[in-house]
Amino acid sequence: MEPLIKVYGLKKYFNMSEGIFKKRIVEIRAVDGIDLTINRGEVFGMVGESGCGKTTFGKTLIRLLDPTSGHVLFEAPMDLIERLEGMDDGGKWELVKEYDVARFKGKQLKALRRKMQIVYQDPRTSLNPRMLIKDIIGEPLKVQGLAKGEELRRRVVDMLYKIGLTEKHMYRYPHELSGGQRQRVAIARALITEPEFVVLDEPTSAVDVSVRAQLLKLFKDFQSKLGLTYLFISHDLSVVEALSDRVAVMYLGKVVELAQTYELFKNPMHPYTKALFSAIPIPDPTVKRERIILKGEVPSPVNPPSGCRFHPRCPHAKEICKEKEPHLLEVRPGHFVACHLYGG
Ligand SMILES: Nc1ncnc2c1ncn2[C@@H]1O[C@H](COP(=O)(O)OP(=O)(O)O)[C@@H](O)[C@H]1O
Ligand SMILES: [Mg+2]
Q: 57-96 pLDDT, tens per residue? A: 999 999 999 999 999 999 999 999 999 999 987 789 999 9
Q: What pLDDT does residue 139 have?
A: 95
Q: With 60 as the cut, is the pLDDT of residue 98 above it?
A: yes
Whole-angstrom Cα Rg for the chain: 21
Is the CB of residue 195 less than 8 Å from the CB of residue 116? Answer: yes
Q: What pLDDT does residue 152 have?
A: 96
State in Å: Cα 304 to ligand 1 middle. Answer: 14
Distance CA 230, CA 243 (A): 10
Q: How confident is the model at residue 157 (pLDDT cuts 50, 70, 90)?
A: very high
Least confident window among 102-111, 117-126, 156-165: 117-126
pTM for the model stands at 0.94
Q: With 80 as the cut, is the pLDDT of residue 287 above it?
A: no
Burial of 19 (0-12, 13-18, 19+ CB in 10 A): exposed
Q: What pLDDT does residue 108 have?
A: 93
Q: What pLDDT does residue 75 have?
A: 97
Q: At what angle do helices 106-115 and 133-143 cross, to 10 degrees?
A: 130
Q: What pLDDT does residue 293 have?
A: 79
At residue 62's C-alpha, the angle toward residues 56 and 68, to 5°, is 55
**For the chain, how many residues are written?**
344
Please give the average per-residue pLDDT across 5-29, as a whole number.
Answer: 89
Tally the C-alpha atoms within 13 A of residue 80's C-alpha that lie toward its C-beta: 17
Q: Which of 16, 28, 236, 272 to mutate to test the pocket of ligand 1 (most atoms within 8 A of CB)?
A: 28
Please give the average per-residue pLDDT across 125-143, as a whole number.
Answer: 93
Does domain 3-330 match CATH 3.40.50.300?
A: yes
Q: How confident is the model at residue 344 (pLDDT cuts 50, 70, 90)?
A: low
Q: At what angle do helices 179-191 and 133-143 cross, to 10 degrees?
A: 20
Q: What pLDDT does residue 333 have?
A: 95
Nearest bound ligand to the CA of residue 203 = 2
Q: How confident is the model at residue 19 (pLDDT cuts 50, 70, 90)?
A: confident
Nearest atom of ligand 1 to the alpha carbon of 235: 22
Burial of 170 (0-12, 13-18, 19+ CB in 10 A): middle
% the chain with pLDDT above 70: 98
Closest CA to 331 of 257, 250, 241, 226: 257
Query: Is ligand 1 within 6 A of the CB of residue 30?
Result: yes
108 Cβ neighbours under 8 A, 6+ residues apart: none
% the chain with pLDDT above 90: 80
- Indicate the average pLDDT of the chain: 92
Q: How confident is the model at residue 232 (pLDDT cuts 50, 70, 90)?
A: very high
Looking at ligand 1, which residue's alpha carbon is closest to its atom 12?
30
Q: With 90 as the cut, is the pLDDT of residue 140 above it?
A: yes
Distance CA 317, CA 28 (A): 25
Query: Is ligand 1 within 6 A of the CB of residue 47?
Result: no
Which residue would you say has higher pLDDT here, 291 or 190? 190
Nearest atom of ligand 1 to the alpha carbon of 58: 17
Looking at ligand 1, which residue's alpha carbon is closest to its atom 6?
14
Q: Which secondary structure element, helix H or strand E, spans residue 257, and what is its range?
A: strand 254-260
